[in-house]
């Protein structure tokens, strides 16, 4: 008798899970309901307007056409406007949902960027590059040795200026050569902090 009593609740649970599983497939969230109801109202409004048009087209007297226009035409327009407002609500809900998702992604990216900047700052302060751990020169020490220019250049630079580093045909020059000073590395200024 206890085996039968325990079997019945299991069968009921299985049936309940089966019914709920089928119902879950047709479940709509908030913005989907707005879209579905809005579309149904627009279709119903168009149907009302169609019925009103058919009714007025079959009646010769204006007094017989007015009830069709008032009941069918105005009701149809009202349903169409209401469906349009619901569709607009659907669109707004989707936009809010997308903006929230985008802001969450942006927040995560900003957190990763901050962590990367903090890691690079710590590596620079420690005098190491973060990728291979090799020591790097202190970028704040001024370079006092000589001036250079490109092969056909009309400006003089410090040897570590970004305008000449890695270029072929770099030549050594002096202030007496009459070249203009670079605006990036400012080779004639003694107190230039970063070279």
Q: Over its length of 195 residues, how does the chain's per-residue pLDDT go in tens digits?
A: 455 555 677 888 888 777 777 665 555 677 788 888 999 999 999 999 999 989 888 888 888 888 888 888 899 999 999 999 999 999 998 898 888 888 888 888 888 888 888 888 887 777 655 455 554 444 443 444 588 998 888 899 888 888 888 888 888 898 888 889 888 888 887 654 444
Q: Nearest CA to 150 among 124, 137, 174, 168?
A: 168
pTM (2 d.p.): 0.42
Collapsing DSSP states into helix, strand and coil, what is residue 99? helix
The DSSP symbol for 145 reads S
Tell which residue, 7, 87, 73, has the closest CA to residue 39.
87
Residue 49 and residue 25 in contact, taking contact as beta carbons nearer than 8 Å = no
Cβ-contact 31, 97 below 8 angstroms: yes
Long-range contacts: 63-72, Cβ < 8 Å, 24+?
72/48
Distance of CA 2 to CAs 6, 10, 15, 16, Å?
6, 13, 21, 22
- Strand 155-156, strand 180-181: pairing: parallel
């Amino acid at each position: 008798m206890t085996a039968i009593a325990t079997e019945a609740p299991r069968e009921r649970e299985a049936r309940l899970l089966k019914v709920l599983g089928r119902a879950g497939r047709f479940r709509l969230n908030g913005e989907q309901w707005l879209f579905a109801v809005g579309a149904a109202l627009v279709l119903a409004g168009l149907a009302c307007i169609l019925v009103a048009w058919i009714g007025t087209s079959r009646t010769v007297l204006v007094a017989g056409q007015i009830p069709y226009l008032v009941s069918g035409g105005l009701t149809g327009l009202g349903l169409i406007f209401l469906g349009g407002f619901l569709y607009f609500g659907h669109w707004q809900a989707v936009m809010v949902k997308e903006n929230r998702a985008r802001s969450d992604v942006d927040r995560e990216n900003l957190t990763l960027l901050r962590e990367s900047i903090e890691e690079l700052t710590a590596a620079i302060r420690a005098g190491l590059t973060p990728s291979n751990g090799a020591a790097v020169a202190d970028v704040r020490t001024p370079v006092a040795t000589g001036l250079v220019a490109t092969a056909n250049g009309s400006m003089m630079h410090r040897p570590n200026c970004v305008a000449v580093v890695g270029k072929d045909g770099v030549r050594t020059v002096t202030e007496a050569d009459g070249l203009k000073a670079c605006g990036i590395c400012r080779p004639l200024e003694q107190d230039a902090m970063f070279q």
